[in-house]
Homo-oligomer: A and B are copies of this chain.
Amino acid sequence: MLRILPREAKFFELFVDMAKNIERASQQLVELLVRYDNVAERVRSIKDIEHLGDQMTHDLFTRLNKTFITPIDREDIHELASTLDDVLDMIDAVSSRMLIYKIEKPTEDAVRLAELIHTATHVLVEALAVLEKHDHIIEHCIEINRLENEGDRISRIAIARLFDDHNDPIYIIKWKEIYEVLEGAIDCCEDVANVIEGVVVKNA
């Protein structure tokens, strides 16, 4: 349905690049939590990816301001870039909390949630790769909704376990927040999926 002029196909490529950058951050988050060595260095590396993401968002807006005809509505391009940026911010927020809270050792629940984020960001790459053609894109969005439900379930169990197994309120405060931010990252992936769904619905 979307008629694209060749020179504008670039927008879709930019979105795929942005999603791949986010996927890379989520992969590094999994590695950070699994290995948990050289923590400061790994946290800094994720922060660098986040800065790169900011740069990509900025470039996209600059291009948008110079482009007369866009393949999808300008405000949807803007919304898509903003929600993608939110995912990356949340991944960085989890990562940085390892240092801020001086976490000694990540929990298995945190690793599972990070893996779920990694999966969700991979599905985002796939969804954005077919945005131009709408090909089975709704299936990808449904998959992200499913992952979000799964993330919700895991984080609820993790938080229940936290209160069952620990008495130290400060430990609970820190980990409750980390689980919430991990789940928040998946929620942000769902927000991106909702924007994609909206774009598809509008151009159906």
Contact = CB atoms under 8 A, between A and B. Distances in A.
Interface of A: 61, 64-65, 74-75, 77-79, 82, 96, 99-102, 138, 156, 159-160, 163, 167, 169-170, 172-174, 176, 194, 197-198, 200-202, 204
Nearest to A199: B75
Contact of A100 (B75, B77, B159, B200): B159
A197 to B, nearest CB: 7
Contacts of A167: 170
A100 B173 contact: no
Given A102-B163, A163-B102, A169-B170, A78 B201 contact: yes
Given A75-B201, A197-B78, A202-B75, A163 B172 contact: no
Contact of A172 (B173, B176, B204): B173
